[in-house]
Structure 1
Amino acid sequence: MAENLVNFGILGCAKIAIKLARAINLAPNSTLYAIASRSLEKAKQFALQNGLPETIKIYGSYEELLDDPSIEVVYLPLPTSLHVQWTVLAAQKKKHVLLEKPVALDVGDLDKILEACVSNGVQFLDGSMWLHHPRTMRMKELLFDSNLVGHVDFVSCVNLFLFS
């Protein structure tokens, strides 16, 4: 286990949060520190039903979780219509953000999210499971199976956002 664990908080108790909670706890350098829902009872039930450790902090509001100074990263499995509101607030509270896809309803909302993260010096990452997405299979077909581009030995890809 790593010496300096990254403390994650999850805003919301959506089904996808179950997978992420497990993944966070399995990572050697992170821990699920807290979970929040719009009600304390729902958050407690989520923790109990999913076997989360008794040491996890449980909050009955998203604001309470964001106000916890021990949390460094928040995962938001919230509906897309709530992404701008909660991502901007998380960024203002200096929390790095892992956001479930789709990231935004439109490019204007995405711009607000990115601006909040950049201006507050926090990292932003979307939670696309690209490996299992149908477009990944299509890329494989085009690159490897169709011989459209010739022989391919290796593919490397990096998403890079440069901000001035």
Structure 2
Amino acid sequence: MIRKITPQDFQSFWPTFSSVILAEEAYAFDADMTFEQSYQLWCEAPLKTFVFVEDDVVLGTYYIKPNAMGPSRHICNCGYMVSDQARGKGIARQMCEHSQQVAVELGFKAMQFNSVVSTNEVAVKLWQKLGFDIIGTIPKAYKHPRIGYVDSFVMYKWLL
């Protein structure tokens, strides 16, 4: 089930969220962000934030927000996280499909991911299967903790 996030949901997902940002493999977030800073960034700053819940366990979460303002306000941006125990079960796919429906309901016409780390091959392939194109490559945009500087992709999909 996908539904709007509650403070308790984020609290229960915090160990996953914290481990993802500490790994520094997928998100350009400060590894030393506090719970409060993370909650503000993920749950309060976006337009909406959702969770994927199964058997009362939060297995994933995503946010949706405008990517820009003014003449580009028709493009949204999303971020997704899935717990280790839920990877490979189609949860990211379900959340991305849900986010596209929500985006259209909110009046967005396109979705853009600004920085998909090129070494996050599972995510890149999933987004491509869901119709997103790589429209740009930012050379050496991400400092991976084991590999060093790697490229990031800008990915885009027209939703209508």
Q: When you count helix as a share of all residues, which structure comes out higher?
A: 1
TM-score when scaled to structure 1? 0.33
Q: When you count strand as a share of all residues, which structure comes out higher?
A: 2
TM-score when scaled to structure 2? 0.34
Between structure 1 and structure 2, the one with the greater Rg is 1
